[in-house]
Chains A and B, each alone.
Chain A
Amino acid sequence: MTEIAETQSAPATSFTTRFEIVPLVLFAAFAAAPLLATFSGAEGYVLSLLTRVMIFGIAAMALDLILGYGALVSFGHAAFLGLGAYTVGILASHGFEDALVQIPVALLASAVFALFTGAISLRTKGVYFIMITLAFGQMLYFLATSLAAYGGDDGMTLASRSLVAGTDWLENDFTFYWLCLVCLVGAYALSRSIVASRFGRVLRGTRENSVRMEAIGFQPFRFQLAAYVISGMMAGLAGCLLANQAEFVSPAFMTWQRSGELIFMVVLGGLGSLHGAIIGAAAFLLLEEFLPEILHASSFFLGEETRAHLAENWKMVFGPLLILIVLFVRGGIMGLLRRPHHG
């Protein structure tokens, strides 16, 4: 019996250490990208696309923290993106343009909203939890569309990016890129720590068997609520960055489709690995960006008119493609990366 225990646990440990390569490569790639962008000739375009990828990476990772590790399917996470973005927009329109004011206020607003909605929705389970988070998300969406003073349906354009301690550093695309990377790495490090900590272990235990957790003396609700608040704040931070990246704020940031896309990013990348969510966000946004061109290029054998139609209706391919990935690549992209190690 002892031999079995040892032979089984030995590869398991080396497997986890080897596996930490993926996030390292991922962050190294993000760090190297600006240098390559300079040579690409389309510096501004590449930078802004990758900045968007990182921002959605933060939001998707925030969702993965509760979805992947707590099995809480929040279908209203875009609300936090919107909340963060609107905090930046509204404060800026009243003359508070400094990120050192905007970000703490956005985090606080997200935390309060998460605490309030979480305390209610976490009393439900399964489909009801999904529906109630969706309802809260939509509630905030309709609130935003009715804010006539702040652009209503149309949203509002920011005069400039946020200041940092009075200076306009963030106007430089490179500086803003680095800021987003720092936020991404920071959020990742924090999430990693949370997942492995005592708190994270209770959250993971609750995902597996909440009755058992109660039977050893934990009250799952408190841990789930705390995780929900942390996740909401992280998504709120992503919202602040998104407003600055787009230099524009609109209710479209928090539609239920956006919440759905966030879930898709997490599932696409692979549930419950954190960096998987970042990879999922990257895959989703890059596919969305380049699929029309890929389709146009790869259908060279078809007539010019058909090719144009195909590129135009790229979503017809995008949807089924995502479904195929989810159906046949269990564990998402991370599952694909993980597979060879198992053999």
Chain B
Amino acid sequence: MAEPLLELRSLRKNYGALVVTDDVSLSVAPGELHAIIGPNGAGKTTLIHQISGMLPSNSGQILFAGEDITHLTMPQRVNCGLARSFQITSILPGFSALENVALAAQARSGSSFRFFGNASQEKKLNDPAMECLSEVGLGARAHIPAGLLSHGEKRQLELAIGLATEPKLLLLDEPLAGTGHDESQRVVETLRRLKNRLTVVLIEHDMDAVFSLADRVSVLVYGRLIATDTPERIRANPEVRAAYLGEEELV
């Protein structure tokens, strides 16, 4: 296997005696779509927070593209090419969908300490932003204030914002959470298209989506990684079935 793009080495996070991330080691190969599943409260979102830099880790190391990023802040990690989406939609409600994405493009395009010139008219930022919006199927909604978009559209917008930061790796925290059937189909299609272009770490509860998209699946239970394997073998793994999949109907 090629050198991993993202590597977690014995990552730990605890709040007092409560261990939320327990000695997690994981490597994600370039170009892979790696899904992390686990029952509620397994510590999936915490793990994403640690990888993205929103929460500090108590011990262990995070390596990204061969570099130790354990002590970098979230903005620094984003600038290395590590973008994320949020489980609870996080957008700028007062900005248009296009401006939400254009801001992400702006973060990647030179200094933002420019006090003159109308940023909302910059073609250099709007064109790539529009491209990202079209990619997730929101092109027609570009000029609507983001706060007025439907829930599913906001999820798609989050994805577009993530894409506009030109990441090497995209961390997606339940991109399908709360979306209707049609909308989730659209997001799954978008992810399928993205798969070929970038590396994705996906947390998701929708098993259909996980097993149809993922190259490899890791199972997290009570902060511990109990298995990492191909979707087929994860499905057959008795330990995983006992811990998690038994609760749901298998497809």
Contact = CB atoms under 8 A, between A and B. Distances in A.
**Same complex:** yes
Interface of A: 1-2, 4-5, 8-9, 12, 190, 193-194, 196-202, 204-205, 208-209, 211-219, 223, 226
Going nearest first, the 6 A-B pairs with the smallest beta carbon separation are A217-B78, A9-B143, A217-B107, A216-B104, A208-B92, A198-B114
30 contacts: A1-B141, A4-B144, A8-B144, A190-B115, A196-B119, A197-B114, A197-B116, A197-B119, A198-B106, A198-B112, A200-B119, A201-B103, A201-B106, A201-B112, A202-B106, A202-B112, A204-B94, A208-B93, A208-B95, A209-B93, A211-B90, A215-B52, A215-B74, A215-B78, A215-B90, A216-B165, A217-B104, A217-B107, A218-B112, A219-B75
A190 B114 CA distance: 12
B144 A5 contact: yes
Interface of B: 52, 54, 73-75, 78-79, 83-84, 86, 90-95, 99, 103-104, 106-108, 111-120, 122, 140-144, 161, 164-165
A31 B112 CA distance: 35
A226 B143 contact: no
Contacts of A12: 143
B84 A215 contact: yes
Name the residue among B92, B116, B120, B143 with the largest chain A CB count within 10 angstroms.
Answer: B92
B144 A9 contact: yes
A211 B108 CA distance: 17
A160 to B, nearest CB: 35
A5 B130 CA distance: 14
Nearest to B111: A198
A212 B90 contact: yes
B17 to A, nearest CB: 28
B245 to A, nearest CB: 31
A199 B122 CA distance: 13
Given A197-B114, A198-B122, A205-B92, 11 more contacts: A1-B141, A2-B140, A190-B115, A196-B119, A198-B114, A202-B103, A204-B94, A211-B86, A211-B90, A216-B103, A216-B161
A209 to B, nearest CB: 5
Given A2-B140, A199-B113, A217-B107, A208 B118 contact: no
Contact of B115 (A2, A5, A193, A214): A193
Given A201-B120, A215-B78, A208 B94 contact: yes
B108 to A, nearest CB: 7
Nearest to B165: A216
Contacts of B83: 215-216
Nearest to A226: B113
A204 B79 CA distance: 21
Given A217-B78, A217-B79, A199 B107 contact: no
A226 B111 CA distance: 14
Given A201-B99, A217-B108, A194 B115 contact: yes
A1 B140 contact: yes
A204 B90 CA distance: 15
A22 B75 CA distance: 39
Nearest to B109: A198
A304 to B, nearest CB: 53
A1 B73 CA distance: 39
A218 B140 CA distance: 27
Contacts of A199: 112-115
B72 to A, nearest CB: 11
